[in-house]
A = this chain, B = another copy of it.
């Protein structure tokens, strides 16, 4: 099957590669001509601009936009909307806010152009492991593109099948992708995935922080342990309730750098984590863990907060307490 791909960074380039490995044809564009040249050498048809990309595809066309969320994606899709024809499909594989997907889906539908949003997890590992995809859009259009999604997905692999899963259930989920619903639903499900990811990560972070602190030299000798955090991560990978890919990555990290001295402790956050909390608030769902995880990242990037200083000021006010400086 044929796919146009716009944006040949780490994600877009590997999507093209994985599709070609499975025998599909790709027509590719990036504003960086070097990226286009590289992919062309690997078998893609490289083009120099969006009109050329559209011209290089057979109708009904499918174009995968793999760009940073926000203006780059928005502008590209607007331009594609002018170049494409009824029946063509635009796929947004980036990290778009799901309400933008809903709006775009409605706008493009007026021109007869289909809009598909694909939330993707497992990014940098996708070429090797396959991409776990959550897809929003018209059911029949998603079906039409099935060969592409199937090629990109991890497939059944050696992961045991879920006990009691009905034979009548949609088998695409087992192969690593789902049709979640109308435009926006793919990125919505991916957003929640990331919210959960934040929570799981913070759970590990807090747990390992207690383990690490139990080794602290500041503790009295009879209360202190000398725990090997790398061994703990390793043993939990085998048969424990917390076994998970994030634990595997933790074991990797601790095997190389047990003190984690390579990291500053300032942790970035992305749109999905924030939007998850907004969705929860909109739907009146209590999410103490997901929000705490986001706030821990906000806090991690600051030396001190104005709020903390105000606490000290109040303590001085009512008790004459003078705080000792930060360790």
Number of identical protomers: 4
Give the CA-CA distance A227 to B242 in the complex, in Å.
Answer: 26
- For A253, list chain B residues within 8 Å (CB): 310, 313-314, 316-317
Beta-carbon contact of B260 and A313 below 8 Å: yes
- For A182, list chain B residues within 8 Å (CB): 225
Give the CA-CA distance A184 to B223 in the complex, in Å.
Answer: 10
Give the CA-CA distance A309 to B261 in the complex, in Å.
Answer: 8
Number of contacting residues on A, CB 8 A?
158
- For A214, list chain B residues within 8 Å (CB): 188, 279, 283
CB-defined interface of A17-53 with B at 8 Å, one 1/0 digit per residue? 0000000000000000000000000000000000000
Give the CA-CA distance A249 to B252 in the complex, in Å.
Answer: 25
Beta-carbon contact of B206 and A260 below 8 Å: no
Beta-carbon contact of B268 and A323 below 8 Å: yes
Interface flag for A109 (CB, 8 Å):
no
Q: A310-B205, A314-B201 are in contact. Are A292 and B288 (CB under 8 A)?
A: yes
Interface flag for A145 (CB, 8 Å):
no
Give the CA-CA distance A202 to B196 in the complex, in Å.
Answer: 9
B164, B281, B310, B320: the one contacting A294 at CB < 8 Å is: B281
Add 5 more A-B contacts to A253-B313, A260-B313, A288-B295 (CB < 8 A): A132-B240, A178-B234, A207-B290, A249-B317, A264-B309
19 intermolecular pairs with C-beta atoms under 8 Å apart? A121-B240, A124-B320, A130-B238, A156-B238, A162-B234, A165-B255, A176-B238, A177-B235, A196-B203, A199-B202, A205-B310, A210-B280, A253-B317, A264-B304, A268-B321, A274-B281, A285-B305, A287-B295, A288-B288
